[in-house]
Amino acid sequence: MPDRVSELHAELCKTLGSAIRIEILNALRGGEKTVGELSAALRVRQPNVSQHLAVLRQRGVVTTRKEGANIYYGVSNPKITQACELMKQVLVEQLKEGVELTRLTGPARR
């Protein structure tokens, strides 16, 4: 039975488990951006971007700053970007060694 901390930990990780949210975080590496800018940059409809931003907000992954009619979003903790980067490195290394083989051959054969 998983404990409370593991559940929070998993919730936080789950936040990165969406291609659009990953791209939002990538886009925010260059600094704060408004919802409209993100929507345009990722070519994703605004309500959809807002939904993903809401998820990121709930987990405390991004911060908001209001300026006039716009709302600027930014990454709340650089460690999130670091973790994200590490995962990407893992992915790259996997692709290099063709993990496909493992994926397709399934579980340990006996």
Partner DNA sequence: ACAGGATATTCGCATATACGCATCCACTTA
Partner DNA sequence: TAAGTGGATGCGTATATGCGAATATCCTGT
Which residues contact DNA by CB under 7 A? 14, 17-21, 34-37, 39, 44-48, 50-55, 64, 66, 68-71, 106-110
- Considering the complex, state which of residue 46 and residue 94 has its C-beta at the smaller distance from a copy of itself: 94
The answer to whether the beta carbons of residues 39 and 70 sit under 8 Å apart is no
The answer to whether the beta carbons of residues 56 and 62 sit under 8 Å apart is yes
Rg of the Cα atoms in the chain = 17
47 binds, among DNA, a copy of itself, none (CB under 5 to 8 A by kind): DNA
82 in contact with a copy of itself (CB under 8 A)? yes
89 binds, among a copy of itself, DNA, none (CB under 5 to 8 A by kind): a copy of itself
Total binding residues for a copy of itself by CB under 8 A?
Answer: 57
Q: Strand, helix or coil at 45?
A: coil
At 62, which helix (H) or strand (E)?
A: strand 62-67
Strands 33-34 and 70-75: antiparallel
Task: Report the length, in residues, of the chain.
Answer: 110
**Which residues contact a copy of itself by CB under 8 A?**
1-3, 5-23, 26, 42-44, 54, 57-58, 60, 64-66, 71, 77, 79-80, 82-84, 86-91, 93-95, 99, 102-103, 106-110
